[in-house]
Amino acid sequence: MSKVAVVMGSTSDLPVMQEAIDLLQKLEITVEVDIVSAHRTPEKLAEFASEAHKKGISVIIAGAGGAAHLPGMVAAYSPLPVIGVPVRSSNSIDGWDSVLSILQMPGGVPVATVALNGARNAGILAAQILGSSDPALLKKIIAFKESLKEKVLDGASEVRRKFNS
């Protein structure tokens, strides 16, 4: 069974990253969660990222605020797909420092990047990556996307009733 690792630079990132965890758990994907700081625990980061594929992890979601080196450093050490979540933090320049430090990776070290605080989309993307080779999971993703469509259509019906009566 494939696993997704969700790592973050500090506990302050957890409220944002919880959205990825919740989405993955809803889709019944095994999730491993940890704090791995690029700056305060670089040895832990190197060990985690270089060994993750040996532990059955298939995709890594890494979220960090401020300078946000975590996703890129994980990608530097790991052969797995890495999805970076820029987190708006207390020491952030309105989140742009996080976005750019994850987005502007050098050639050969890709990090898929979602929107600022976009951990839910990171969870969806991780599920879609896994679903591309897992027919049962793909069915769940299709159902999930259908539920999004239904929610929009229900909202449209309510708006039409309210304003077009």
What is the number of alpha carbons within 13 Å of residue 16 lying toward its C-beta? Answer: 27
Is 58 assigned to a binding site? no
Is 13 assigned to a binding site? yes
Is 40 assigned to a binding site? yes
Inter-axis angle of helices 119-131 and 14-26, nearest 10: 30
Instruction: Give every strand in the sheet of 57-65, ordered side by side.
Output: 30-35, 3-8, 57-65, 82-87, 112-113
Residue positions forming the annotated binding site: 10, 13, 40
Residue positions forming the annotated binding site for substrate: 10, 13, 40
